[in-house]
Amino acid sequence: MISLEEAKERLFASIKTARTERVPLIHALGRICAEPISSLVDLPGFDNSAMDGYAVRADDLRSASESQPIELKVIGRIGAGETFGGIVSPGTCLRLFTGSVVPEGADAVVMQEEVHAENGAARFAETVKPFENIRLRGEDIRTGTQIADAGDLLNATRLALLAATGHSEVAVSVQPRIALLATGDELVEPGLPLGPGKIYESNRLLLASLLRSLQIKPTVLPLVPDTLEATTSTLEAAFANHEVVITTGGVSVGEFDFVKEAFTRIGGVIDHWKVAIRPGKPFVFGRLEKRFLFGLPGNPVSALVTFLVLVRPALLKMMGARECELATVGGELTAPISNPGDRRHFVRCEYKKGGVRPLGRQASHMLGSLGDANCLVDVPPATRLDAGTMVSANLF
């Protein structure tokens, strides 16, 4: 039996970061940035107005007051995206809008609500400070400032920042091609009639869905019966065009557990296979040249946990991500949890509005909790956590 940390260390030590490719930003959501990126422009790109209003020379209005307003001649109008050829000289002003270029000569903008405009003139009843309501060129981001780094997750906001700073493509790590297979004579495709002793298969959908959140669309293979021949030929075919194969079931020491033997037959090397976590003790990591096998237990709950705590970090590491672990959030337990066992227990919970609710029965064959589960709480061996304890919820 090895610890989760050791299992992860061994996984990470075997894994190399993937090749990179350039993709249009529109196809980069959820991908991992592969190089440092700098802004190609100043933001803002030019001094521009923060308001709909009038560009003025602050000096012209230095004596403006309610009782003695100052009138300036409106010499034109400049919309956002337009340019103005002239100069705002003393005694004049220019109508402009949010985002309009501040014209030469002007050094402040007065918002339109404070201006009375009539017959080509504008009346100002207040003073204005130089640079008031002007967004200065480069005050946000300067050309050359780094805006993303290798390992960053490209989420919606970072992609928007890349677009705003002049980029249309980005270098990202190539995602591994992944095949999913489920072993077990008892398994039936959902929607088909269940014979005696049979159960509906759900692990491939679980894993395919979890992979989708990494923007990976796996190949979902047909169900594999419990024979050495079927397992061997399926694994062989899967590794022919995938870098990663994830299996569920068939990795314990039961008579019908063929994944390890089949993998060894096709030339693979098994690295380790017992991790001190609950649920999910039997876990196979195998290498076939530069390709990897992740053999997960068949229980859907065990498959979920081993995927989240071992496979997901390994895949993110492969993609060069800086952050390979699930995001965590602190929350207060709404009910006690106890782990009398000698392995750390990843307890399925629902995080909601600051509370962490442990869900129903936690045995690894109990699926009732899966509907509401959105996080795992890592409970150390021989530990009881009372209701009200602050815990860290690993969100998925």
Asked if 373 contacts 349 with a C-beta cutoff of 8 angstroms, the reply is yes
- Site for Mg ion contains 320 (CB under 5 A): no
Residue among 106, 170, 182, 356 that touches ligand AMP (CB under 6 A)? 182
Choose one: 28-36, 103-111, 195-203, 383-391; the region binding ligand AMP (CB under 6 A): 195-203
- Site for ligand AMP contains 218 (CB under 6 A): no
Asked if 138 contacts 42 with a C-beta cutoff of 8 angstroms, the reply is yes
Asked if 54 contacts 96 with a C-beta cutoff of 8 angstroms, the reply is yes
- Site for ligand AMP contains 132 (CB under 6 A): no
Q: Which residues are bridge partners to 351 per DSSP?
A: 356
- Site for ligand AMP contains 280 (CB under 6 A): no
What span, in angstroms and rounded, lies between the C-alpha atoms of 108 and 123? 15
Q: Which residues are bridge partners to 110 per DSSP?
A: 54
Q: Which amino acid is at 144?
A: G
Residue among 52, 71, 132, 186 that touches ligand AMP (CB under 6 A)? 186
Choose one: 85-93, 150-158, 241-249, 258-266; the region binding Mg ion (CB under 5 A): 241-249
**Dihedral sign computed on CA atoms, order 327, 328, 334, 335:** positive
- Site for ligand AMP contains 378 (CB under 6 A): no
Query: Quick one: which of 258, 284, 259 has its CA closest to 271?
Result: 284
Shortest distance, CB of residue 207 to ligand AMP, whole angstroms? 9
Q: DSSP secondary-structure letter at 153? A: B
- Site for Mg ion contains 300 (CB under 5 A): no
How do strand 383-385 and strand 337-339 relate by DSSP bridges?
antiparallel
Shortest distance, CB of residue 33 to ligand AMP, whole angstroms? 34
Shortest distance, CB of residue 226 to Mg ion, whole angstroms? 6
- Site for Mg ion contains 184 (CB under 5 A): yes
Number of Cβ atoms within 10 Å of the Cβ of 72 = 24
CB nearer to ligand AMP: give 148 or 182.
Answer: 182
Residue among 299, 339, 369, 394 that touches ligand AMP (CB under 6 A)? 299
Residue among 127, 227, 252, 389 that touches ligand AMP (CB under 6 A)? 252
What value, to the nearest 5°, has the Cα angle with vertex 134 and ends 131 and 139?
A: 100
- Site for ligand AMP contains 262 (CB under 6 A): no
Choose one: 35-43, 161-169, 265-273, 298-306; the region binding ligand AMP (CB under 6 A): 298-306
Look-up of token digits 């061994």:
10
Total number of residues that touch ligand AMP (CB under 6 A): 17
- Site for ligand AMP contains 254 (CB under 6 A): yes
Q: Tell me the helix, strand and coil percentages in the chain, rounded to 5.
A: 20, 35, 45
Which residue's CB atom is positioned nearest to ligand AMP? 298
- Site for Mg ion contains 249 (CB under 5 A): yes
What span, in angstroms and rounded, lies between the C-alpha atoms of 227 and 255? 10
Residue among 202, 215, 233, 334 that touches ligand AMP (CB under 6 A)? 202
Collapsed DSSP state (helix, strand, coil) of residue 157: helix
- Site for ligand AMP contains 86 (CB under 6 A): no
CB nearer to ligand AMP: give 53 or 286.
Answer: 286
Residue 143 has phi, psi (to 5 degrees) of -50, 130
Q: Which residues of 267-279 are buried (b: 16+ CB within 10 A; e: fewer)?
A: ebebbebebbbbb
| Residues lying near ligand AMP in the complex (CB under 6 A) | 182, 184, 186-187, 199, 201-203, 248-250, 252, 254, 297-300
| Residues lying near Mg ion in the complex (CB under 5 A) | 184, 249-250, 298
